[in-house]
Structures are given as structure tokens and as C-alpha cells.
Structure 1
Amino acid sequence: MNKFFTLSAAASIALISTGTGATGKHAGGHGHGEAIGKPGIAAKATRTVRVEMTDGMRFDPASIDVKQGETVRFVVTNAGKLKHELVLGTDKELKEHYELMKKNPEMEHADPNMVTLAGGKTGEIVWQFTQAGKVDFACLQPGHYDAGMKGAVNVSKPRK
């Protein structure tokens, strides 16, 4: 089973509708595999990357380069009027999460690999990229992912 979802969609819906998932996260919360890294410690961030989200359903920049092991502070600004979010994950995790969001558009969630922002607001994610490869990110608000609101963090191996 995918670590990104700890409960089935039906169980999540049941918990949310009964209020037992009212922790500010999807019912049961999300795990995220080491494939995308782990929450970073703000004091260990080696740099800050500013990302803007727009109502044109785009991230600027949509491609970010980091080094394996690097801890990055993402300062994310919603430059639009619609609610947007930036969620880090694998392509598969993001697609599965998006399907849940389409079925439950009012679902509230707050995990270390994401930030959800109302129009004009700014937030941050501090993340350590532990594995080389690609880490995807997307806005999973209904309709936004389908409109192309996605990007990638390209994690390179450190030079020896």
C-alpha cells in the first residue's frame, strides 16, 4: 500500500464526515516515503527558494534544482485570489491525493510536505532532499492539477 495514504478514500470520507479527522490533516494523516525526502529543520536550511502560485494555474518557477542532502526553505506566495497549495510528492502520490481532493473539495489538510494558502498569503515549507532524482509538486485544489499547476524539484547527487 502507498505510504502517502494511510486510509482508504472511503474511510477518509467516513472520518471526515463524522468529525473524527478534525486534526487539521486528512483523516489519519499522510506518510511520505523517503523517495521525496523528509521535513527539514529551519535552522539547517542552506538556502531559500521563493515560489509564486498564480490564478493562471502555474508555479513560478516550475522547475527547481537542489543537491541531494540539501535542506531548502520554500517561501511560497499565492499571488492570486483563488486558494492554492504546493504539495511535494511522487507523481503517483500526487495523482492519488488529487483524486481524493476532487471527491472531497472541502477536505482540510496540513502536512510538512505542503502549504495551502488563501489569495495574497505567504507560507513556507522546509524540506530536506535525501535522495537524488525528481520530486514532483502540484496544487491539488480541484481543477488546478488538471489545468497544469505542477512542477518538479530536480535533486542532483553531490559532486565528489
Structure 2
Amino acid sequence: MKKLISIVLLSLAASASTLALAHTEKAHDKKAAPAKKEQKEWGIAGDAKAVQRTVTLTMTDNMRFTPDKLTFKQGETVRFVIQNKGKLLHELVIGTKKELDEHAALMVKFPGMEHDEPYMAHVAAGKAGGLIWTFNRVGEFDFACLIAGHYQAGMVGKISVLAR
């Protein structure tokens, strides 16, 4: 049975668009490795030297982000400071509604799964984390906490990226 579970998890990890590891209460150390520069529909990992604006987001155990609506200009590089004011682990994941829906469904099936990409930040209870992102594509995008049950409870937000 253990071998079957291992095979299923390896298959899932290989087919998923993000890396899957076990969730822990410890926040990830983003300084350990440079962010992957992979163009996504909603932008690309940003450089600290290029930051044009800092936005602080607060996450709480009432399954909400404050603010939950953000607007940026195309090409803007943003530093997100993410504060977890709750007693539970929360995360910020930026993406399209379709990608967030798909990943949230996987998280419900495999609640111990974790992801670590430059457009994601996991923040332990009472701690702060962050990420830097360049919004180089115009459009309407989403952000959410994909921890099992949090997304389904409405822990989501909207991002509008306007043309310059």
C-alpha cells in the first residue's frame, strides 16, 4: 500500500505544474535559492532591485485577505508583504482562476501537499512573509490561499493589471 501511495504521489508531482512537498508550519526560506524566472499568464518573478511599490496583505482565520482587490500597471514590479494575523498557516498564491481552481482541488484530495513557486508565499501563524512579482501581462487575475478548505471558504482576491 505504501508503494502504491508513493507511486500516486510521484505521478501527481510529475503532472502538476508546481512542486509538491509536505506542508509544515515553518515558512519557506526564499533566500535559499533564486526565484525561477518562468513567464506565467499573470507575470514573472520580480527582482528586488526593480521593486516599484510595496503592498501589504493581511490574512486572518476568518478566511479573508485585506485588501482583497488590487490594481497594478503593466510592467510594475511589486513587493508583497504578507502578514498572517491568524493562528493557522495561510498562504498567498497568485494565478488565473482556472489554475487556482485546479490546484485547490488537488489540495482537498491531498491536504498535506505544498507548493513552492515564486508566485506563492506560505506564512506561519503570527508571522510575515513575502514575494516579489512583476505584472508584465494585462488582465484580470486572482490570488488565494489554497490550503484545503481555505479557498472553499472564500479566501480569495482579485488583481487587475492595466495597460500602461
The equivalent position to 1:69 in structure 2, one of 60, 64, 75, is 75
Residue 12 of structure 1 and its aligned partner are, at CA, apart by 8.1
Instruction: Kindly indicate whether residue 133 of structure 2 is the aligned counterpart of residue 127 of structure 1.
Output: yes
- Which residue type is aligned with residue 127 of structure 1? W
1:15 is aligned to 2:10 = yes
Which string of whole-angstrom CA distances, capped at 9 and with x for unpartnered residues, describes residues 55-77 of structure 1?
Answer: 01000000011100000000001
Structure 1 ranges of 4+ moved more than 2 A: 10-14, 30-34
Does the Cα contact within 8 Å between 1:34 and 1:130 map onto a contact in 2? Answer: no
Please give the per-residue CA displacement for 1:2-61, whole angstroms capped at 9, x wherever unaligned: xxxxxxxx99843289x99xxx9317xx99753110000011010100000000100000
TM-score, with length taken from structure 1: 0.81
Q: Aligned residue for 2:62?
A: 56
- 1:119–1:16: structure 2 CA closer, same or farther, 3 Å change rule? farther
Q: Distance in 1 between matches of 2:134 and 2:8?
A: 31
Q: 1:39 aligns with which of 36, 39, 45?
A: 45
In structure 1, the gaps of 5 or more residues are 1-9
Instruction: Show the counterpart of 2:19.
Output: 25
Aligned partner of 1:26: which letter? Answer: A
Residues 97-128 of structure 1: CA distance to partner in whole angstroms, max 9, x if unpaired?
00111111111221101001111111111000
1:148 maps onto 2:159 in alignment: no
What percent identity do the matched residue pairs reach?
47
Counterpart CA distance in 2 for 1:33 and 1:144 is: 27
AA at the equivalent of 2:19: K
Cα RMSD for the two superposed structures: 2.8
Aligned to 1:98: 104
With 90-99 and 105-114 compared, the bigger mean Cα shift is at 105-114
- Would the alpha carbon gap of residues 48 and 31 (structure 1) be closer, same or farther in structure 2, given more than 3 Å must change? closer
CA distance in 1, matches of 2:39, 2:51: 21
**In the TM superposition, what is the alpha-carbon distance from 1:134 to its structure 2 partner?**
1.1
Structure 2 gaps of 5+ residues are 22-35
- Give the aligned length: 143
Distance 1:141 1:67, change over 3 A: same
Give the whole-Å Cα distance in 2 for the aligned partners of 1:148 and 1:12: 32
